[in-house]
Structure 1
């Protein structure tokens, strides 16, 4: 190991130590932070109306106020269900990446702290969906089986890159939800918890990606970029299940056509992805192939 490598490792450990200290001083327990016994107000949205997939379309204008409220509650629970699904994948990838690494290192300890955070987040999301009496929404069977390969084989920059995609997009959404005056308090509070704790996870993921990118060649870089963009394509498409529209009496095919033509939605996704795309470009993970996929889900 060269002097440069040693210095890099030392800086990485210092960075992980700071994240670890932050997690010890600023973390939340959803079981006490959220008032689980409070009644659910009938007139509040599940997420900011502007973040509904149909907002800004003629179809949205056709809905009654109660239909809009119901739709946004099913949409937020679909996003949370997708979050649970991907957080379980992420936990497995992190654990495999840290397998038999030195437990005395702050990097190892923060990685396990992140896994513990993700467990709490998943339970929090699960309880919210249960509280709102919304069914579990899952990706398609094809996507579920495809993800088995990702969680079993992805490592290094691919594992942390795929996780970063999900975390960054959801982070921008939730920063709006936590400030939404007409959004359910249970969603606002959970969003605040997730935003604060995921900010450390995103910083950790970015540093891990940078570390792994220092030593890879051109072919691996292009391959990794492609896999991360495929993961992004799948995750973004899976966020809101087509089944949510049935809950308010809308034909899913008609709804999906409206979503595909929704320029407001596309603009929100580009804005939500701007920071992520900039980082991927700086890290060397934005190639012609990956850019094409990001454009297909309106991240660019």
Structure 2
């Protein structure tokens, strides 16, 4: 089959371009990286009356259930939703680290590309530490995978290869990143969460740049069948994220009826708008690179992201 090209006039990235991008990102990492162990004040007390996620991004915001809740109940819901999202973040970082490490086995260990991958892996390890400490600091418990979910998650790193590796990285990074950028300066947010988001956004910007360049390189140099396959299957991320964002366990921990809470969340226009805004930039990028085919588009739309 003939090789594919991007749907834009952008020149196809070359191996030399890959090294240039990696070198630039390495320089950025030297100038602006964080160590959450010392860059977050873990001993600072929580601020009474502040949320762990701003009300407007909570899954039940604006629903009848939300209107019936007290301020204390709403803050508790924000604690549990934040703990859930941080747990999901840790799961994803773990999957990505495993996939990147497998990929490095076949790369030139002297290249700037490899050096940046290792730098990114260090960032992600620190992020996992930061997420875990934040869950503990907010007085919550992490959410765990069920056994059948754990089976699937343990298989995923083996399937993330080529274009799919970089697209999966973007699905796990960009949607969270877009939401964090909008809310990290919210005055109702706990200072610890605001600082955590700022650190994460700063470092994820480099990771997203790296993954996008990886996608462009693969699309320009891969056969049409790979682009068709990734463009068809990547929409599975939509229902998966929808399920994770409306985890019944977090509603139960917040003292709510989990089935009714999830039902109201899934029909909540505010929640759907939040999902669409988070996915907007990534959706446009996937369209641009020819990686948003009809089956995936339908799955993202059905899950409320389009």
Q: How high is the TM-score relative to the length of structure 1?
A: 0.94
The verdict on how the C-alpha distance between 1:222 and 1:100 changes in structure 2, with shifts beyond 3 A counting, is closer
Partners of 1:145 and 1:296 in 2: CA distance: 25
Partner of 1:213: 219
Partners of 2:189 and 2:29 in 1: CA distance: 27
Partners of 1:289 and 1:30 in 2: CA distance: 40
Partners of 2:12 and 2:213 in 1: CA distance: 16
Correspondence for 1:123 among 106, 129, 135: 129
Shift, 1:232, TM fit? 4.1
User: Contact (CA 8 Å) 1:162, 1:232: kept in 2 or not?
Assistant: no
Correspondence for 2:36 among 22, 30, 33: 30
User: Contact (CA 8 Å) 1:143, 1:234: kept in 2 or not?
Assistant: no
Shift, 1:148, TM fit? 2.1
Partner of 1:13: 19
User: Contact (CA 8 Å) 1:82, 1:139: kept in 2 or not?
Assistant: no
The yes-or-no answer on 1:57 pairing with 2:63 is: yes
Would you say how many aligned residue pairs link Structure 1 and Structure 2? 296
Higher relative contact order (CA 8 A, sep 6+): 2
Partners of 1:187 and 1:214 in 2: CA distance: 39
Partners of 1:7 and 1:171 in 2: CA distance: 25
Partner of 2:46: 40
Partners of 2:235 and 2:100 in 1: CA distance: 19
Partner of 1:73: 79
Correspondence for 1:160 among 137, 161, 166: 166
Partner of 2:96: 90
1:148-227 equivalences under 5 Å are 148-227=154-233
Shift, 1:247, TM fit? 2.3
Partners of 2:280 and 2:245 in 1: CA distance: 18
Could you tell which deviates more after superposition, 9-18 or 228-237? 228-237
Q: Deviations over 1:266-298 (max 9, x none)?
A: 011111111000101111110011101111221
Partner of 1:105: 111
Unmatched tracts of structure 2, length 5 or more: 1-10
For the aligned residue pairs, the C-alpha RMSD in angstroms reads 1.7
Could you tell which deviates more after superposition, 205-214 or 81-90? 205-214
Q: How high is the TM-score relative to the length of structure 2?
A: 0.92
